[in-house]
Structures are given as C-alpha cells and as structure tokens.
Amino acid sequence: MKEIRVLVCGAMGKMGQEVVKAITEAENMQVVAAVDIMHIGESLSFLTQNDSVRVMDSLEQAILETSPDVYVDFTNPTVVYGNAKVCIEHGVRPVIGATGLSEEQIDDLRQRMEKKKMGGLIASNFAIGAILMMEFSQRAAQYLPDVEIIEFHHDNKLDAPSGTAITTATKIAEVRTPHKQGHPDEKEVLSGARGASWTGIPIHSVRLPGRVAHQEVIFGGVGQILTIRHDSIDRRSFMPGVVLGISKVMELSSLVVGLEKLL
C-alpha cells in the first residue's frame, strides 16, 4: 500500500500535536509538512523523531515543497475555509475537523472538489463514542421528542454552540416534528436563559477551563428522563477517527460531511 503523505495545519496547537503523533504512529502514513503561525522554523522532532519536518507559515509553499496527498486542519473557523480552497486547488485532499463552516462555504468546497474529481471529509467530531452518541440520540428522538442539548468545552473554544451540538440537533430534527418546548407562556427573565434554538431544540453551551469536549442529550417523557452523554477527557480520543478519515479520504471522489458516513 502506498504511503499517505500528510500535511498538518495548526500543527503546534494542542489538537495539531496529537494529530502529528497519531499519524507518526500509524501504518502507511507520514507527516511531510507542518503549517502554523507560531514556532515557525522549529523542528517536529519532539513529536516525530524526524528532524526533517519543520514548521512553515505558508500553506501554499508547504504544498509545493512537499507534495502531500492529504491535509488535516484543526485550526479555527476564521482560516479553515481559505486553507481548504488553497489545498483543493493543488489537489490535496482535505480532512477538516475545525467547525464553523457555513452551508454556503461547504457547498462551495463540494463544487470545487467535484471539478477536481477528488474527495474530502468534514467532520464535527472524530471521537467514535461521540458519533455513537449522535446516532443513539436520533433513534431516541423518534420516541421521546422533547429534548435539550448541553455541550461543555474548554474556555478557548471559539464557536458556540459546538459543531457536534448542531450536528446532533440536525440529526434529531430529521425524525422529530418541530415544536416549542416548555410552557407556552414561558418568559425569559434573562435573555438567553433557555439557550439557543435549533428547530425548537434548546442548545446550551458551557465554556470552562479544565474541560475538553463533552455533551449531554437529555430527553424527557411522562415520568421519565433519558440522558445520553459522551465525554472526551483526552484529545487522543479523536485520533482513531482522524487516522481513519485520512485513510478513507484517499478512496473518495466527492466531499463527505460526517465521519459516521465512513464507518
């Protein structure tokens, strides 16, 4: 099997470093380039035991110098769209874990990949347990349509609600008739107290130091409560899904949204 050459965007961030280590430990994969706005020129030898890969600040230059097959992006919503367009233009297949892309941006990236006859992956969560949590929640919503979502993340997360929460609510909405929950005359004494609303599903975002990524989906019925919860207590929980995504994306001929479609 041909070795997959991987470029990592945001390689010096917490998620980026875990991605570099996971790829280094995986079979038939190699980190050939690292891009970040910090630690430019520094070696990745402390992560890969390979002194030849150094951090660059130009994504396009890194592509031209190293010819990667796949790029992995866990940066932030303000740059991921631009990164993706550059990589697609050069025929590098995207595996995107950064959330915050709009539907219009996703559609544009899909069209760009179709023109290039190449595949890519965008996933709101790469933890296998989180994928199962979303699938179980969709199943439960068929029988318990009153539901609220609480997601907890570290205090440096830029978007709220999380991509996972929005994906969960979207899956639930596919099997649930939209309706307003709670008392019809309910009044928010403080604006936002009932959370954001996605087709009538309240979503609450908590941001605290010490957290990684956690979500509760709480269903209520007559005389009963069902809670489906997933906790990522270490960023390593996402790595098996990232490695799977890198491997599978080489076989795709179009954009796939959601890791569950590759399981």
Which residues are annotated as catalytic? Answer: 153, 157
Residue 199: closest CA among 221, 183, 218, 180: 180
Q: Which residues contact 213 (CB under 8 A, 6 or more apart)?
A: 125, 127, 130, 151, 152, 153, 154, 162, 164, 231, 232
DSSP track, 25-82: HSTTEEEEEEE-SSSTT-B-HHHHS-TT-BEES-HHHHHHHH--SEEEE-S-HHHHHH
Residue 214: closest CA among 127, 112, 113, 123: 127
Per-residue 3-state assignment (H helix, E strand, C coil) for 71-116: EEECCCHHHHHHHHHHHHHCCCEEEECCCCCCHHHHHHHHHHHHHH
Contact (CB, 8 A) for 135 and 260: yes
